[in-house]
Amino acid sequence: MGEKNMIIRFSKMLSDKIHESDLSVVSSAENPYLDWHAHIFRHRRAQYIMVSNSKSLFSIFMHVAGVTNFQRFFERMRDILRDTLHDIGADLIYQRIIAPNTGSILLAKAQDKRIISSMNDHIGFAKAILDDEEISPYDLSFRINENILTIIKYATPKEAFLGMDAEMGKDAKPESKLVQQPENKNVIN
């Protein structure tokens, strides 16, 4: 099985923040584990980035501080996603499916209104949690991924993510910005 491109679809606000503003629309990734949406939001005085899998809405959160370009965004996303998947017992999904396919990443514009709406629901729930307790963005990911959603047939994002078929979906057409990652960034230790 050959290498496929990971797709990260950015909201307008986040693409502007990381200076990647000239993005176009691309079709779904062949492998749903390689298709992600990213958005930025503010709560009180802090800014956060939420990155959600496009099919399952499995999400991770991070602080915006220090994220000034795509490379910094991707390094942080990759590390948090790897650690989160490890903590839910899904190391193999990361090691066998995600990590080997991050050498080339398609940067695209977020366009699916259902996914964007569900992400906004996640953000609303995240803000409510942040209002009620002091919680790290990392721990917030676990709370959000246990929330039942109607868009994924009354499952949790964690259940939907773990149950995805790695070969579902359509081929992505590289019509957007393709970013090559440095070779040493893909080594799994």
Q: What's the pLDDT score for residue 136?
A: 96
Q: Whose structure tokens read 């602080």?
A: 63
Among 157, 130, 135, CA closest to 144? 157
- pLDDT band for 167, please (50, 70, 90 cuts): low
Mean pLDDT of 108-127: 95
HEC sequence for the chain: CCCCCEEEEECHHHHHHCCCCCCCCCCCCCCHHHEEEEEEEEECCEEEEEEEECCCCCEEEEECCCCCCHHHHHHHHHHHHHHHHHHCCCHHHHHHHHHHHCCEEEEEECCCHHHHHHHHHHHHHHHHHHHHCCCCHHHHHHHHCCCCECCCCCECHHHHHHCCCCCCCCCCCCCCEEEECCHHHHCCC
CB-CB contact of 103 with 180 (8 Å): yes
Q: Is the pLDDT of residue 2 over 70?
A: no
Q: pLDDT, tens digit, for every residue of 47-73?
A: 999 999 999 999 999 999 999 999 999
Q: What's the pLDDT score for residue 128?
A: 97
Q: Whose structure tokens read 């980035």?
A: 49
Mean pLDDT of 25-36: 95
- What's the token pair of residue 180? 């090559």
- What's the token pair of residue 104? 């080339």
Among 103, 102, 96, 112, CA closest to 167? 96
Q: What's the pLDDT score for residue 189?
A: 30
Over the chain, what is the mean pLDDT? 88
Mean pLDDT of 98-125: 95
- The whole model's pTM is what? 0.86
- What's the token pair of residue 53? 């899998």
Distance between CA 100 and CA 96 in Å, rounded? 7
Categorise residue 165: left if φ over 0, alpha if ψ from -120 to 50, beta otherwise: beta
Q: Is the pLDDT of residue 74 over 90?
A: yes
Q: pLDDT, tens digit, for every residue of 135-157?
A: 999 999 999 999 999 999 999 99
- pLDDT band for 173, please (50, 70, 90 cuts): very low
Q: What's the pLDDT score for residue 4?
A: 80
Q: What's the pLDDT score for residue 117?
A: 96
